[in-house]
Amino acid sequence: MHFQYSIEGGDFSRAGNASSQLKKLLKQLNVDSQLIKRIVVALYEGEVNIVAHAHRGTIDVDIEPDKVFIRLSDEGPGIPDIKQAMKEGYSTASQKVREMGFGAGMGLPNMLKNADKLNIESEPGKGTIVELTTLLR
């Protein structure tokens, strides 16, 4: 099964809509609730990152019998130093992002903790691709 969602940069009121829809879907598919939580927490942090740091993006979700594969690709400033960005506490988030309860530099580390595999590719000035894989059994 394949699903696609589009995300607008800066649109905080809608940040989380894609994660919410995926959560409902995984529930319908009877995926274990702890696994659902891991998947949607990671996706939600990724969704917030597009809203907070990029101009616009697309989320592609592939649900297979044994895994859920999520690809978040965005057009935006990109991440010049991915190793640094992965460090807990590193953040370039604006005051507005902090007011929304994010911007403590915990998003990418949270995604790493909740996914079985995390892959990040980025081209500064162009955009970022984040891939999350979660095994279902």
Partner 1 sequence: MKIAEIVKTLDGSVILGKENLEKDVEMGFASDLMSDVLTLQTSNILLITGLSNVQTIRTAEMADITCIVMVRNKKVTSEIIDLANENNIVIIECCYSMFKTCGLLFQAGLKPVY
Contact residues: partner 1, CB under 8 A: 12-13, 15-16, 19-20, 23, 33-34, 37, 40-41, 44-45, 48, 99-102, 104, 106-107, 110, 113
Residue in 48, 43, 42 with CA at minimum distance from that of residue 96: 48
With CB under 5 to 8 Å by kind, the binding choice for 90 among Mg ion, ligand ADP, partner 1, none is: ligand ADP
Regarding 128 and contact with Mg ion (CB under 5 A), the answer is no
- Using CB under 6 A as the binding rule, whether residue 92 contacts ligand ADP is answered as yes
Which CB atom, from 27 or from 96, has the smaller least distance to ligand ADP?
Answer: 96
CA 86, CA 105: separation in Å to the nearest integer? 8
Q: Over the Cα atoms of the chain, what is R_g?
A: 14
Report the alpha-carbon distance of residue 102 to residue 44 in Å, rounded.
11
